[in-house]
Amino acid sequence: MRVVVSEQQLGKTGEPTLNDVSEAVVAVFGTDYGMHSPTWITRFTDVTRQAASYREGRVLLAGDSAHIHSPIGGQGLGIGVQDAVNLGWKLAQVVKGTSPESLLDTYQAERHPVAARVLRNTMAQTALIPTTDRVEALRDTMSELPSVAEPRKRIAGMMSGLDIHYDLGEGHPLLGRRVPDLDLATEDGQVRVFTLLHDARPVLLNLGGPSAFDVTPWADRIQLINAKYADVGELPVLGEVTAPTAVLIRPDGHVAWTGELTAPALPAALTTWFGPPAS
């Protein structure tokens, strides 16, 4: 059983007790139904705030230190972990001297808008909670929307975070998005894309057959995988997408570049994201 009760006064401090919950339930139902042995009691609010800057010199913010909001919709932990995964590899490269400090600026550029949007959608959801005639009418109206495919996909993409799209410029629909977990056939057998990311290293995925691209100058950082795929299928939010010939995947699973392995933009993208070629 889980019970959520509202307190009339904001600002209580200290740990809430079973007695506090019991009194609140009795106030509504006249009984606490004999509740006992709680496994977890906590107090939270819908306070909604975001740090203006995620970085000040050597101090970087991620997770709830960067953004807090109502827990409604269960999005806080997910975006906090994504912050850390977005930042971790960039920080490692800057610390190791493979990339310039400016790489860290992409952390703020990519992650700040994501949390700002979650703050907005959680504020919108909390507006639907109060039990008044008008809010109930709004709640009924809103709950009709997911019965229609398009709003359902849009809302599901937003709540799950699968619609996150970093602005990495114009190009293939996958650019800046999380790479799909495709089934691949490689010379070492069947493998899924996400398995290739377990080493937290960038992956250059060649889906276009034999290629003369020489990855040697980046081979200390990047895995080049030659593979065939069965079908991209229908992706969340995007729908049906044709797979690009080659995909450069960052350690956080987002697509940094797509195109032909012969394109001059590939060495440029490798340098931008993973540092210059080794001499």
Q: Which residues bind ligand FAD (CB under 6 A)?
A: 42, 44, 63-64, 71, 74-78, 80
Residue 72: CB minimum distance to ligand FAD, A: 9
H runs (alpha helix) in the chain:
18-29, 76-96, 105-126, 133-144, 149-160, 193-196, 265-274
Q: Quick one: 73 or 173, whose CB is closer to ligand FAD?
A: 73
Residue 156: CB minimum distance to ligand FAD, A: 16
Q: Which residue has the tokens 């849009």?
A: 154
Residue 90 CB contacts under 8 Å (≥ 6 apart), including other chains:
99, 103, 104, 106, 107
Q: Quick one: 76 or 244, whose CB is closer to ligand FAD?
A: 76
Residue 81: CB minimum distance to ligand FAD, A: 8
Residue 160: CB minimum distance to ligand FAD, A: 11
Q: Quick one: 67 or 177, whose CB is closer to ligand FAD?
A: 67
Between CA 184 and CA 207 the distance in angstroms is 9
Q: Quick one: 115 or 255, whose CB is closer to ligand FAD?
A: 115
Residue 15 CB contacts under 8 Å (≥ 6 apart), including other chains:
41, 43
Residue 51 CB contacts under 8 Å (≥ 6 apart), including other chains:
61, 65, 66, 67
Q: Quick one: 129 or 148, whose CB is closer to ligand FAD?
A: 129
Please report the sign of the dihedral spanned by the C-alpha atoms of residue 63, residue 65, residue 71, residue 73: negative
Residue 11: CB minimum distance to ligand FAD, A: 17
Between CA 110 and CA 97 the distance in angstroms is 22
Residue closest to ligand FAD when measured from CB atoms? 63
Q: Quick one: 64 or 105, whose CB is closer to ligand FAD?
A: 64
Residue 49: CB minimum distance to ligand FAD, A: 13
